[in-house]
């Protein structure tokens, strides 16, 4: 499965892990993954540890998620980026919009 969603037991963290290619093929699954965050105002972590490739549609999906979630989350962190993925995020200046760890 290219996308895995997991809430922490207390509901305060939502982790969405993406494996392989993060591109338009994941648009519906990605939307569903962050669609119901609950009432706890969780911090969302997008784990890109196993993401090999990220294209412009993935950047758009991240921006749409940020806009859609708004104040219903404490924050959105993009974590565990490979150097080539981190480079794309840096060039796109996503560090101004997300916490990138």
Q: pLDDT tens, 15-34?
A: 999 999 999 999 999 999 99
Look up the pTM and report it.
Answer: 0.94
- Pairwise CA distance, residues 7 & 13, whole Å: 6
Domain ranges of the chain: 3-100
Of residues 44, 36, 35, the one with CA closest to residue 74: 44
pLDDT of residue 1: 64
pLDDT of residue 47: 98
The helix, strand and coil proportions of the chain, stated in percent and rounded to the nearest 5, come to: 40, 30, 30
> Given this structure, which CATH class describes domain 3-100?
alpha beta
pLDDT band at 11 (very low <50, low <70, confident <90, very high): confident
């Amino acid at each position: 499965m290219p996308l895995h969603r997991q809430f922490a037991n207390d509901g305060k963290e939502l982790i969405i892990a993406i494996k392989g290619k993060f591109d338009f093929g994941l648009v519906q699954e990605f939307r569903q993954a962050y669609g119901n965050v609950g009432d706890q105002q969780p911090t969302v972590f997008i784990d890109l540890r196993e993401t090999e490739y990220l294209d412009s549609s993935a950047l758009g999906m991240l921006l749409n998620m940020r806009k859609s979630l708004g104040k219903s989350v404490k924050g959105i962190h993009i974590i565990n980026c490979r150097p080539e993925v981190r480079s794309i995020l840096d060039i796109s200046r996503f560090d101004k919009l997300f916490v990138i760890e």
